Every structure is written in C-alpha cells, then in structure tokens.
Structure 1
Amino acid sequence: MWRASGHKAKLGTQKVWLWANARDSRVSAAGPPRLVYRFEAGRGFECADASFAGFAGIFVADGYAAYNRLARSVGQ
C-alpha cells in the first residue's frame, strides 16, 4: 500500500501525472539548485497554478499550454 500526503491508496491502478519543477541557481539568487516533484490527478492549468502559487521570478517553460496560460495570468 502506498501513502502520499496522509491518504491511503485504493487497491488497483490510478492515472496520475508527475510534475517536475526546477530552480537554477545560475538565474536565481533565491538559493541553491532545487528540483521538486509533484504528483497530480491531472495536467491542466489548475495543477500548474497550484504548483506556482505565490511564485515571483523568472519563469522558463517548455511551451506546454498550461504553462502559457499561467504566464499570462501572472503577467496581468
């Protein structure tokens, strides 16, 4: 049985997405390099928005539509 965030997993399979967020110390003085992995139930804008809530700084993305929408919402 696998546990994440205090929730007990159900038997069987479930589709989840693994999001990876990195901080590069070459472009950020916020601290050392960091890589954060998040399991999410989906891959839409809501997941990206929750992952970067309160973020301020340089945002570099691979062009995925959810990131594009996030960049537009932060820029407003």
Structure 2
Amino acid sequence: MRTFIFCILVLVFNYSALAQPVTTTFEQSKEQGISFVKLDSLYHGATHANPQKNVFKEHQTKFLKSIGL
C-alpha cells in the first residue's frame, strides 16, 4: 500500500513540475509574430500617471513607497 501511495505521489509531483507556465523573451515573441506593442497593450504596467491605468490601482502610492520610490 505504501508503494502504491508513493508511486501516485511521484506521478503527481512530476506532472505538477511539467505543468508550469512557459515564458518567452521579447525576441522569441517577435519571432512568433507577437509585437511588443501588442504585449504592452495586454499587460499593464505596475505604475502609471493615471492610477486607474496601472496594476495596483489605488495602492500605487503604497507600492512606490515599498520599493523605495
């Protein structure tokens, strides 16, 4: 029974290691036909002059203080 549970755990851990998301560089994205402009429009910046257009929304000031800016 312990061997069976061990085998199941090994299979689950191996699957979870393989199921991680894949990241690409800007160069790889460009080769795949995905422009920087498209990426920039999909993924908003952490900070912005207009707090409603950034990732942290109303928490921008707290974020900037936390990173020393």
TM-score, length-normalised on structure 1?
Answer: 0.20
Relative contact order, higher structure (CA 8 A, sep 6+):
1
> Larger Cα Rg: Structure 1 or Structure 2?
2
